[in-house]
Each structure stands twice: as structure tokens, then as C-alpha cells.
């Protein structure tokens, strides 16, 4: 029976929930598995560690405290920008996610916290920062690496 080891490419389904059961993400709703190479650092470290040793068809539940998930909220990630940095007729709605360009041209996402006539307060923290979360992980397939011996 194959088990997941570091470096395997795997296909999986997952459902992310908060401790109260509210779902924040579910791959089944999107109708497709997620493919990832274990150990590549593209997932939360705790999530990747949970994959090690799983077998095809196995389901595992993990609970992560905020510090082992997306970390605590960083007060320095909440900043004010001039209101005129937005288009003239922009409709400001607290809680809305906005996209812009960072100082080096990179795409940045932030949530509008508040605004007044002069400035807009934006929160650049990850939306799940400061939150404890749970994942139900179903390992669908350990993909073949494509390497063959000759």
C-alpha cells in the first residue's frame, strides 16, 4: 500500500472549517481535487505534515491553532492610504476586498476597514490570520512520478 512521503505529488479533497463548524473553503464545492507536491512549501506546514504517511482513500481531520495556521493578526498590516488613490467614483464598503499594486508593482489584496473624506484604512492581513481552523483532508491519489527504471 502506497503512503505519502516528502516529494510525492498528490491529489486531495479538503474542507476548511472554523471551530464553530462554519465552512470557509471546500474543494468539493468547486468540483475538483487539489494537486500538490508534498514538501514544496506551497501549503501550510502543518497541513503538509498531516499528509505524510496517509494512504490513498484515507481521510484525516486536523485542528490548527492560529499560530500554526496563518499566524496572528499583525497590527502593522493595517494602514491608511489617501482616498484619492482609488478611482474617483469608487464605492467604499467596509469588509470589501480590494486589489492594488504594492511598492514594487506586485499585486496586493486588502480589506477595507473604514474610510472618511481623506483616507481609507486597509487591512493587509491574510483573511484567516488570527483564526483557529480545522481541515478534513481526503487523500484521493498518490500520483506516479513518471520516473521509470530502464
pLDDT, tens digit, for every residue of 100-134? 887 788 888 999 999 999 999 999 999 999 999 99
Query: Quick one: 135 and 63 in the same domain?
Result: yes
Burial profile 50-71: b = 16 or more Cβ within 10 angstroms, e = fewer: bbeebeeeeeeebebeeebbbe
What is the total count of domains within the chain?
2
Q: Report how far residue 143's alpha carbon sits from residue 140's, in angstroms, rounded to the nearest whole number.
A: 9
Query: Quick one: 55 and 105 in the same domain?
Result: no
Q: Which residues constitute the domain of residue 50?
A: 9-71+129-142
Query: Quick one: 52 and 90 in the same domain?
Result: no
The C-alpha cell that represents 44 in the structure block: 501550510
Query: Quick one: 47 and 96 in the same domain?
Result: no
Residue 4 lies in a domain: no
CB 119 within 8 A of CB 82: yes
Query: Quick one: 135 and 117 in the same domain?
Result: no
Query: Count of CB atoms within 10 A of residue 142's CB?
Result: 20
pLDDT, tens digit, for every residue of 49-102? 999 999 999 999 999 999 999 999 999 999 999 999 999 999 999 999 999 887
* pTM recorded for the entire structure: 0.81
pLDDT value at 147 more than 70: no
Give the CATH number for residue 100: 2.40.10.330
Residue 109 lies in a domain: yes
Amino acid at each position: 500500500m502506497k503512503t505519502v512521503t516528502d516529494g510525492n505529488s498528490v491529489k486531495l479533497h479538503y474542507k476548511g472549517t472554523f471551530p464553530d463548524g462554519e465552512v470557509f473553503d471546500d474543494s468539493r464545492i468547486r468540483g475538483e481535487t487539489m494537486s500538490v507536491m508534498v514538501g514544496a512549501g506551497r501549503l501550510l506546514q502543518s497541513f503538509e505534515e498531516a499528509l505524510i504517511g496517509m494512504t490513498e482513500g484515507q481521510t484525516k481531520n486536523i485542528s490548527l491553532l492560529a499560530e500554526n495556521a496563518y499566524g496572528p493578526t499583525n497590527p502593522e498590516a493595517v494602514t491608511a492610504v489617501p482616498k484619492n488613490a482609488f478611482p474617483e467614483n469608487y464605492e467604499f464598503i467596509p469588509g470589501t476586498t480590494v486589489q492594488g499594486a504594492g511598492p514594487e508593482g506586485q499585486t496586493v489584496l486588502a480589506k477595507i476597514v473604514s474610510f472618511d473624506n481623506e483616507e481609507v484604512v486597509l487591512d493587509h492581513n491574510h483573511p484567516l490570520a488570527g483564526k483557529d481552523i480545522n481541515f478534513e483532508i481526503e487523500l484521493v491519489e498518490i500520483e506516479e512520478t513518471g520516473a521509470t527504471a530502464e
